[in-house]
Amino acid sequence: MLVARPAQHVALSSKPSPFLIIVKDLKNIRECCHKLPQQPLSYKTILGVVTSKLYLYVSKHNNVAKRKILVDEESNLPSHQSVFKDEAKLDINYIPQQLPHREKEHRLLMEFFSFLSRYPERMAQRVIITGDVGTGKTVLAQHFGASIVSETNKRAVKLRYVHINCREYRGSLQPILHQAVTVFRPKYPARGYSADEVLSTLMQVLDEENAFMVLTLDEFDSLIDNEGSDAVYKLTRIQEMRQGKPQRLSFIFIMRDLKSLAHLDESARSTLQRSIINLERYGKPQLVDILNQRVSLAFELGAIEEDVVDLIAELAFTETGNARFGIELMWRSGKYADAEQVEMVEPECVRMAVSNIIPGVRRSDLAGLGLHEKIFLLAVARYFKENEQAYALLSEIEKTYAVICEEIGEQPNSHTQIWNYAQFLSKMRILKVEVESSTTRGRSTRISLLSIPAHELEKELSTSLEKVSR
Ligand SMILES: Nc1ncnc2c1ncn2[C@@H]1O[C@H](COP(=O)(O)OP(=O)(O)OP(=O)(O)O)[C@@H](O)[C@H]1O
Ligand SMILES: [Mg+2]
């Protein structure tokens, strides 16, 4: 009903420009929408509806001349300028040239590995980096990797920095080592060799190439959880098997805290705990600096004001000093500004963005799940959305899982598999899984959803599964 008004303008007169009238009227329409109980519509949506009504009107009257005017006018419409200059600079994989407030730790890493430039064959190093979520562990290691490679290259030392996230390989040593070998031997087969064999191939390849490697094992706790002390031995004792040969392989192990080391036996633990760099949580002023660095790279000049950056930093500070949260929130706020077709990122855009962000879980963690893990997690989300309960029995979730499988035309997996999914998601700290012994019902498994609102999780997973089924 609301959109009929501008359409009539156009129908009755082609002068002044029908689209300009619409643009003017958009504001009025939007204001009217604000008075309605529904969500306010964005300019883009209104424009879309208005345009389609216009075309309907014109085509109904079969007026070729009028249709031509409309098409011409549309191409003259001023298109909305994005607040972003280069939003890729806010991508999680972007590595900035400088890391504000991590200079000291960067220097320390360079010190620990300085032997690589001078006498690389004589030493190998093991360093652990710890720190809470979003404190810059991954980006610090990657930044260091780029610096040390360029430093050693100047001295004609053939060094490769390899960064592997253990969680992506489900904490399994063999594929992790395979990935390292493929840096030099891209066709090395993924299957058919044990972890020990792949490790000795890696050393052999490094010898053949007269090369050195700093291998960073990110989210190392997932490797410890999955493989235990054995894997740590294999990695750290490799040189003992090659007495007299050059040292070629150094390690950086990244984990949020040292708790998982408690699962290791004493001697495996002692091979690890040498140099530990702990990254303190960022304070608010530090987060402001980190965000400001991205503002100049990612946003148009003046598109985001100091106060708004301050607000985002404040929110990231309350989220445990998490820089990722701040950067993601800034990107989302920009997206809201663009969708609203406003010139600047307004505080309201930040508030809208923050209410739609998933705290406690990283989007990349969800993206890395397998199809049936996603379906299972969607079942958990749906269950808790529909039932106001803190706990659910695994058997109840299993029923919802089967329903979703049917909806998307997938064969449901066995109970054992479902149990494995629950265990895996519990290790990722998305779910909590408890086995209860009750005298009446025997043993039952209770599931609870930790720090993510069920409806947010459902939305995120539904979108991701839609993409898969398309
Ligand atoms: N000092 C910094 N300067 C610039 N950007 C930073 C800094 N610290 C962190 N970031 C950015 O914040 C985001 C999160 O950092 P990073 O991924 O390194 O955190 P993390 O400690 O590895 O977190 P997690 O424990 O969740 O893996 C990344 O986009 C990273 O580029
Ligand atoms: Mg990380």
Model confidence at 43, pLDDT cuts 50, 70, 90, reads: low
Residue 12 confidence (pLDDT): 31
Q: Give the Å distance between the CA of 345 and the centre of ligand 2.
A: 28
- Averaged over 240-267, what is the pLDDT? 90
DSSP 296: H
- Residue 431: is its pLDDT beyond 50? yes
406 φ/ψ angles, rounded to the nearest 5 degrees: -65, -45
Model confidence at 361, pLDDT cuts 50, 70, 90, reads: low
Q: Which atom of ligand 1 is nearest to the CA of 95?
A: 31
Residue 19 confidence (pLDDT): 41
Residue predicted with more confidence, 358 or 448: 448
Atom 15 of ligand 1 has which residue's CA nearest to it?
136
Amino acid identity, position 171: G
Residue 270 confidence (pLDDT): 84
Among the residue ranges 173-177, 226-230, 363-367, the one predicted with the least confidence is 363-367
Closest CA to 231 of 246, 257, 201, 253: 253
- Residue 235: is its pLDDT beyond 70? yes
Residue 448 confidence (pLDDT): 84
Average pLDDT of every residue of the chain: 82
Q: Is the CB of 100 under 6 A from ligand 1?
A: yes
Model confidence at 341, pLDDT cuts 50, 70, 90, reads: confident
Ordered structural domains, the chain, with CATH: 4-76 (no CATH), 103-279 (3.40.50.300), 282-354 (1.10.8.60), 363-469 (1.10.10.10)
Output the CA angle 332-340-452, nearest 5 degrees. 35
Residue 263 confidence (pLDDT): 84
Task: Name the closest ligand to CA 129.
Answer: 1
Residue 301 confidence (pLDDT): 92
Task: Name the closest ligand to CA 139.
Answer: 1
Query: What tokens does 380 get?
Result: 């958990």
Closest CA to 302 of 88, 87, 83: 83
Q: Which atom of ligand 1 is nearest to the CA of 323?
A: 12
Among the residue ranges 10-14, 99-103, 156-160, 354-358, the one predicted with the least confidence is 10-14
Atom 4 of ligand 1 has which residue's CA nearest to it?
99
Residue 267 confidence (pLDDT): 84
Among the residue ranges 214-223, 285-294, 429-438, the one predicted with the least confidence is 429-438
Task: Name the closest ligand to CA 321.
Answer: 1
Amino acid identity, position 102: R
Q: Which atom of ligand 1 is nearest to the CA of 254?
A: 22
Among the residue ranges 6-20, 39-53, 55-69, 175-189, the one predicted with the least confidence is 6-20
Could you give the CA distance from residue 229 to residue 3 in angstroms, rounded to a whole number?
Answer: 68
- Residue 80: is its pLDDT beyond 80? no
Residue predicted with more confidence, 40 or 12: 40
Could you give the CA distance from residue 175 to residue 102 in angstroms, rounded to a whole number?
Answer: 31
Cβ(198)–Cβ(181) under 8 Å? yes
Residue 185 confidence (pLDDT): 95
Q: Which atom of ligand 1 is nearest to the CA of 293?
A: 4
Q: To test ligand 1's pocket by mutation, which of 257, 324, 332 has the most ligand atoms within 8 angstroms of CB? A: 324
Q: Is the CB of 430 under 6 A from ligand 1?
A: no
Closest CA to 261 of 422, 131, 137, 253: 253
Strands 442-449 and 392-393 turn out to be antiparallel
Residue 362 confidence (pLDDT): 66
Q: Give the Å distance between the CA of 429 and the centre of ligand 2.
A: 15
Q: To test ligand 1's pocket by mutation, which of 97, 139, 363 has the most ligand atoms within 8 angstroms of CB? A: 139
Q: Give the Å distance between the CA of 325 and the centre of ligand 2.
A: 12
Could you give the CA distance from residue 287 to residue 425 in angstroms, rounded to a whole number?
Answer: 30
Q: Is the CB of 18 under 6 A from ligand 1?
A: no
Could you give the CA distance from residue 23 to residue 392 in angstroms, rounded to a whole number?
Answer: 51
Strands 159-165 and 275-279 turn out to be unpaired
- Residue 96: is its pLDDT beyond 50? yes
Atom 10 of ligand 1 has which residue's CA nearest to it?
136
- Residue 262: is its pLDDT beyond 70? yes
CA 69 to chain CA centroid, Å, is 46
- Averaged over 138-162, what is the pLDDT? 96
